[in-house]
């Protein structure tokens, strides 16, 4: 019988209840910190964004960020919140100075929600403002005021100080990964010349804007020509063509916000590059041939920008300001004028670029027939085997759960069967490998189309033309924690680093951590991921608990697997350190088998000493096995 629907069914939530009930509307997905777009990093960003807006307006050149255990403190030296409005600024939705475009003309956030969301989703939150020799401090717990101090005299330097602890009730057993935070901070200083950010003893500062960003991305790698750096009014870009990667790689920003999904500004830049090159050479080149291997950073400042969601990952605005010049025309004009001048003034670069485009054209035509056969093979294979068990929601959609979209890549029918039966069919897909994939090190991209496994996997992820239309936010390698599993893991890492490095650079690739032991008695069961956790579980359960060691994913029943790929799923992100060079990484791990690498493998293989002894092996040249920590 249907429930009664009447006046009593309607209820209104106050601001903090609404945020805590629907956090995804404000900060995207929650997560435990393994992914760089997890909510705990969005909380940090929302607070720093307010400090950045102060810097942009000319107030305060330094921002201090510190994390002590789980407590985050962000201190700027701007004007400080008006003392009589501190409470409203951090606890009343749609309250702030950003509605006055004269004060915050091109601010990152305009809806007055950011700091309030942080407040509501924090178990502890403290706001302090210092200005005019006075200070006021207000403390909260989950959005509720616990201490409201009156205004007092103070000799601290003016500015705002925000401290908070993300609420474990919302985020679970979370942890911060410093590399993710540091990348955020680097982006801030690249986009704001003259700004210094200090984080836990490290100082971040840039002098040459996006040129510095691109140099950090390229990291000494081979490029076709020196970085072209254009900076004019509200637009800045830096770009070159790489000699060692496929596809296109973009780092795009709007008003300081990293728009990982691009948007109208990125589309305009891509169009402008092609249009300028065609007109310069008077050749009707294919767009893909012109942009093949391009690496670019783009930044634009737009008045009252319109994003596709609160997390602001894709720009939807068509105009620089309401009723003003279109973003498309604005970007096209600046890029065309500057790039055309550069090519005329640097004929050697123009000649190199021309040869590169012709080479890309030649490679594209050579691949055309291979791709055609590959697509036919993909269609046939899709009909006759079930390598991909797809989900309903994808990353390239506008669905509110798109950030949860995950593809598990596993090996063998038993393992893929367990995951398939346990998964959330809305957001989790499974791709099943047949045995070990090919070692792609040193091979050309045509192997992706000639090899059925790679061809099907590429089609499933939708990365043939780069990650702009990526179907899953999280690509998770799920293999057994033994020698064969490690080998498969390394072969897959090699494939992605060789052909789609931006998938790794942009934080989409993970390793699934599954339990090694199950410890249980009649009343309780604990799953353990290490010897230390196993011993702790034995001590807690006391007596003589039953201990089971899982030798492979296929041994874990679907009922149990639900615990490991659900809300508390443990993912280990594949992170490239800032000084990592992909060719050197691949050469060491997957190139010629050396004694140094054999020693590294044996020293780093993750096995349980009381169950499996470390292998003493002479690895054959063709195996090329190693472990990336």
Q: Which two tokens stand for residue 511?
A: 């390793």
Q: Is residue 538 part of a domain?
A: no
Residue burial 444-479, b: 16+ Cβ < 10 Å; e: rest: ebebbbbbbbbbbbbbbbbbbebbbebbbbbbbbbb
Cβ neighbours of 518 (radius 10 Å): 20
The pLDDT score that the predictor gives to residue 177 is 92
**Are 194 and 227 members of one domain?**
no
Residue 155's domain is classified under what CATH number?
3.30.565.10
Assess whether pLDDT exceeds 60 at residue 104. Answer: no
Q: Do 288 and 350 form a contact (C-beta atoms < 8 A)? A: no
For residue 5, being part of any structural domain is answered with no
**Domain region containing 34:** 15-204
Q: Are 171 and 31 in contact (CB under 8 A)?
A: yes
Which region among 381-385, 419-423, 424-428, 503-507 has the lowest average model confidence (pLDDT)?
Answer: 381-385
The pLDDT, as a whole number, for residue 619 is 36
State whether 155 and 221 are in the same domain.
no
Do 272 and 302 lie in one domain? The reply is yes
**Residue 102 in this model has a pLDDT that exceeds 80:** no
| In-domain check, residue 346 | yes
Q: Reading across the β-sheet that carries 509-513, which strands appear in turn?
A: 388-389, 428-433, 406-411, 474-478, 509-513, 570-573
Q: Is the pLDDT of residue 471 over 50?
A: yes
Residue 613: inside a domain: no
Task: Report pLDDT digits (tens) over 475-533.
Answer: 999 988 777 888 888 889 989 988 888 888 888 999 998 888 889 998 899 888 888 89
| CATH for 502 | 3.40.50.670
Residues 334 and 432 in one domain: no
Q: SS3 of 350, please?
A: helix
Look at residue 105 in the predicted model and tell me its pLDDT. Answer: 59
Q: Do residues 89 and 234 share a domain? A: no
Sorted by sequence, the CB contacts under 8 Å of residue 282 that are 6+ apart come out as none
467 and 491 in one domain? yes
351 within some domain = yes
One domain, residues 78 and 224 = no
Which of 187, 204, 221 is the last residue before a domain boundary?
204
Q: Are residues 459 and 486 in the same domain?
A: yes
Does residue 628 have a pLDDT over 80? no
Question: Is the model more confident about 318 or about 92?
Answer: 318
| Bigger pLDDT: 589 vs 621 | 589
Q: Are residues 44 and 188 in the same domain?
A: yes
User: What is the torsional sign of CA 301, 302, 308, 314?
Assistant: negative
pLDDT, one tens digit per residue, over 362-397 is: 888 887 777 776 666 655 555 445 688 999 999 888
What pLDDT is recorded for position 607?
Answer: 46
Residue 582 lies in a domain: no
Within a domain: 88 = yes
Final residue of a structural domain among 314, 330, 364: 364
Between 297 and 575, the more confident residue is: 297
140 and 259 belong to one structural domain: no
CATH of the domain at 269: 3.30.230.10
Residue 462: inside a domain:
yes
Q: How far apart are CA 334 and CA 323, in angstroms?
A: 20
- Pick from 331, 364, 397: which residue ends a domain? 364
pLDDT (0 to 100) of residue 451: 86
Q: What is the pLDDT of residue 550?
A: 84
Domains contained in the chain, number: 3
Q: Are residues 291 and 162 in the same domain?
A: no
Is a pLDDT exceeding 60 seen at residue 191?
Answer: yes
Residues 288 and 157 in one domain: no
pLDDT digits (tens, 9 = 90+) for 535-570: 999 999 888 899 998 877 877 888 888 888 887 788
pLDDT category of residue 592 using cuts at 50, 70 and 90:
low
Of residues 150 and 593, the one with the higher pLDDT is 150
Which of 38-47, 377-386, 410-419, 527-536 comes out lowest in average pLDDT?
377-386
Mean of the pLDDT values across residues 570-586? Answer: 75
Of 162-171, 208-217, 352-361, 582-591, the range with the lowest mean pLDDT is 582-591
Model pLDDT, residue 623 = 36
């Amino acid at each position: 019988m249907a429930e009664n629907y009447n006046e009593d069914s309607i209820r209104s939530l106050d601001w903090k209840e609404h945020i805590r009930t629907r956090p995804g509307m404000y900060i995207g997905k929650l997560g435990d910190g393994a992914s760089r777009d997890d909510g705990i990093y969005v909380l940090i960003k929302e607070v720093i964004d307010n400090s950045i807006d102060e810097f942009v307006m000319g107030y305060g050149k330094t921002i201090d960020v510190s994390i002590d255990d789980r407590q985050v403190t962000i201190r700027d030296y701007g004007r400080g919140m008006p003392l009589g409005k501190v409470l409203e600024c951090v606890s009343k939705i749609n309250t702030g100075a950003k509605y006055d475009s004269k004060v915050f003309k091109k601010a990152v956030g305009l809806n007055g929600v950011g700091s309030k969301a942080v407040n509501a989703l924090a178990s502890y939150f403290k706001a302090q403002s210092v200005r005019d020799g006075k200070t006021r401090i207000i403390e909260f717990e989950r959005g509720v005021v616990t201490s409201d101090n009156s205004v007092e005299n103070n000799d601290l330097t003016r500015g705002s100080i925000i401290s908070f602890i993300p609420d474990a009730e919302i985020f679970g057993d979370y942890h911060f990964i410093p590399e993710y935070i540091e990348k955020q901070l680097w982006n801030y200083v690249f986009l704001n010349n003259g700004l210094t950010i200090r984080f836990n003893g490290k100082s971040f500062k840039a002098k040459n804007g996006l040129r510095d960003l691109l140099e950090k991305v390229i990291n000494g790698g081979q490029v076709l020509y020196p970085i072209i750096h254009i900076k004019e009014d509200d637009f800045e870009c830096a770009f070159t063509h790489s000699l060692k990667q496929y596809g296109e790689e973009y780092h795009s920003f709007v008003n300081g916000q990293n728009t990982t999904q691009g948007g109208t500004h990125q589309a305009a830049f891509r169009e402008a590059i092609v249009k300028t090159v065609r007109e310069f050479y008077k050749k009707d080149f294919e767009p893909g041939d012109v942009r093949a291997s391009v690496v670019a950073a783009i930044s634009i400042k737009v008045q009252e920008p319109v994003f596709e969601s609160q997390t602001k990952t894709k720009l939807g605005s068509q105009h620089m300001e309401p009723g003003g010049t279109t973003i498309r025309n604005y970007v096209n004009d600046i890029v065309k004028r500057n790039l055309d001048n550069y090519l005329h003034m640097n004929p050697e670069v123009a000649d190199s670029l021309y040869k590169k485009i012709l080479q890309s054209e030649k490679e594209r035509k050579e691949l055309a027939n291979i791709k055609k056969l590959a697509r036919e093979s993909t269609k046939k294979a899709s009909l006759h085997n079930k390598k991909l068990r797809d989900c309903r929601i994808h990353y390239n959609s506008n669905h509110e759960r798109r950030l949860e979209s995950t593809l598990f890549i596993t090996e063998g029918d038993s393992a893929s069967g367990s995951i398939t039966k346990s998964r959330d069919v809305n957001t989790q897909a499974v791709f099943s490998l047949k045995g070990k994939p090919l070692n792609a090190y040193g091979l050309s991209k045509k192997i992706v189309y000639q090899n059925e496994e790679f061809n099907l996997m590429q089609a499933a992820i939708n990365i043939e033309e780069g990650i702009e239309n990526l179907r899953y936010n999280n690509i998770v390698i799920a293999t057994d924690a033994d020698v064969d599993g490690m080998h498969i893991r390394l072969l897959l890492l090699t494939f992605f680093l060789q052909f789609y490095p931006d998938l790794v650079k942009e934080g989409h690739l993970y390793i699934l951590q599954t339990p090694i032991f199950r410890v249980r008695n009649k009343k309780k069961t604990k799953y353990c991921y290490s010897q230390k956790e196993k011993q702790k579980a034995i001590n807690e359960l006391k007596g003589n608990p039953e201990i089971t060691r899982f030798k492979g994913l296929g041994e874990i029943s679907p009922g149990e697997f639900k615990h490991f790929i659900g809300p508390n799923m443990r993912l280990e992100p594949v992170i490239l350190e800032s000084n990592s060079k992909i060719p050197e990484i691949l050469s060491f791990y997957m190139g010629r088998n050396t004694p140094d690498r054999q020693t590294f493998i044996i020293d780093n293989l993750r096995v349980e000493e009381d169950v499996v002894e470390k292998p003493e092996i002479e690895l054959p040249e063709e195996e090329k096995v190693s472990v990336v920590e």
